[in-house]
Chains A and B, each alone.
Chain A
């Protein structure tokens, strides 16, 4: 120790410390940085971030701040991750059209490439869930029935038995999941957009999420059979009651009018 302190004023000491610090930083970086396959296309990634930053400045910065740090009009995007961007922009929710109880899904105005660039930029602001790979939400290896049970435990309370959506407080609502890309459903579970709680891997394992996505694919798609006939929106007794009154009683009363009506009389000539 004494030796070291004695030589601390050596002309080469600064150089040694500098080298040591560099080595430690580099080593730590190597140890902790996400082992990204992007290592090879490092430049492509940084290019994407650069492009994303431009897009961000045009489309998002007015609410989320120039650095995505958030303003009074929009939350901070530091740490929301690429999955959140892919979901919000991919489903057309962002950029938002107007303030309101909730930002609804609408037509997406960005290409997938642009969304990826935006996502890369926002992901660079702070670590967060990344966009899931296709194998994570594909049907292969999924248990639909288990997914149904999980859906009824975790999701149906807001989104209805088969994902037709439902009401929340003060004008907010859980949207219908009909026609939503499985990837976006997966991302919504990961990131918890707007008032939806998130379901990280601690509360729903990746396999759980895969099961849920597959269940929705089976019960809430254009080809889902409705053996009994018209699904009436899948909303339960309210739409059934309306149908029973309008089509059922309506038809029966029309028939009753015919049964009781007088037959046309012959014209007197």
Chain B
């Protein structure tokens, strides 16, 4: 085959040359059975030779365009007829919004039929004769390149950028510095981190309030095997900063038989087996709370980090890098309250966490 031949004109001597011109057209080489026979002769479609078939195609195309018009009318009708809140049962889609269904369907049909009509027109009535178009190399001819290089050199010389180095260097300096203004302007996007990531709303004497009932929690509210979510007393849902606060303060409370608690500090920080852990996953901060009361494992629904609440909130599976922070709690006047803030930052780790 021809590819194995010409090596001279390519940069890599082991590579085949440009495709042989024998392939370039319908040149039949008698001794090459694999040669390109050239474009096959054009064959006619039924529509090309039978005017009745062409008429049928014409009608089909017109029918599709007409259907599209009708569908658009249907769209407007649906918009007017169906109230926005009407729910109807349409098999097999279920109880759907009548308006959404009919608007979408009519719009879809209206658009689809325009497309189908146009394509059917192109496929059956427009010429389907294949033609070949020549390609031209993307690379410029050597003389063009030479002219460009010459022009460029002339331009560069006339600007004297190579000779007057002081001009060039200061220009680069100015151009390099000017974007700094833009960077500086970004400073007020937000505050500095300071201690914000290290502190939460919990501190000594703050009562634990049940998120569901909004009542301060008593130890007897929390049974073994139960799960309760708590927030600090004084944090209300309609506070302006509620979301920022609850993003760090959210707490989950479970009760484990004290003899089942393996971690000494966990036991010390609990009250009769009631342990309070941060609800915020230490991986990337999802509210982790898939608590399995028999295994005392808690799973994160986002990335499946699993923590053992009977063992200091230790990570036992998944991508989280450190244990869940525990809140030291006690009982005063019959109500659960915090002894201090969390001993470590809650939520995902960060460079300064330490």
Interface residue ranges, A against B (CB under 8 Å): 150, 153-154, 157-158, 166, 168-169, 172, 174, 192, 194-205, 208, 223-231, 258-259, 261-266, 268
Contacts and interface: CB of A to CB of B under 8 A. Distances in A.
B292 A168 contact: yes
Interface in B252-298: 253-254, 287-295, 297
Given A157-B289, A259-B119, A265 B223 contact: no
Contact of B44 (A203, A205, A223, A266): A266
Contacts, number: 131
Contact of B212 (A150, A197, A259): A150
A34 B294 CA distance: 30
A100 to B, nearest CB: 14
B101 interface: yes
Given A195-B295, A266-B44, A228 B290 contact: no
B236 to A, nearest CB: 14
Contact of A263 (B45, B221, B287): B45
Interface of B: 43-50, 87, 92-97, 100-101, 104, 119, 123-124, 128, 210-213, 217-218, 220-223, 225-229, 253-254, 287-295, 297, 299, 301, 304, 306, 317
B162 to A, nearest CB: 54
Nearest to A228: B100
7 closest Cβ pairs, A-B complex: A202-B221, A197-B227, A203-B228, A227-B97, A195-B292, A225-B95, A225-B87
Contacts of A197: 225-227, 254, 291, 293
A227 B228 CA distance: 34
A154 B294 contact: no
A227 B290 CA distance: 30
Report whether over half of chain A's contact residues are helix, strand or loop; otherwise say mixed. loop
A230 B92 CA distance: 8
A268 B43 CA distance: 9
Given A226-B95, A265-B44, A203 B123 contact: no
A230 B90 CA distance: 10
A200 B294 contact: no
Contacts of A268: 43
Given A192-B226, A192-B293, A153 B211 contact: yes
A216 B254 CA distance: 25
Given A192-B225, A229-B101, A263 B297 contact: no
B218 to A, nearest CB: 7
A157 B299 CA distance: 9
B45 A200 contact: no
Nearest to A204: B212
Given A202-B217, A224-B95, 20 more contacts: A153-B211, A153-B229, A157-B287, A157-B289, A158-B301, A166-B290, A198-B227, A200-B221, A202-B220, A203-B213, A203-B221, A203-B253, A225-B96, A225-B97, A228-B96, A228-B97, A230-B92, A262-B128, A266-B49, A268-B43
Nearest to B221: A202
Nearest to B297: A169
Contacts of A226: 93-96
B299 A168 contact: yes
A5 to B, nearest CB: 42
Contact of B229 (A154, A198, A201, A223): A154
Contacts of B93: 226, 229-230
A265 to B, nearest CB: 4
Given A157-B290, A169-B292, A263-B45, A205 B212 contact: yes
Nearest to A174: B290
Nearest to A150: B212
Nearest to A75: B294
A69 B288 CA distance: 34
Contact of B226 (A195, A203, A230, A265): A203
A266 B128 CA distance: 13
A14 to B, nearest CB: 42
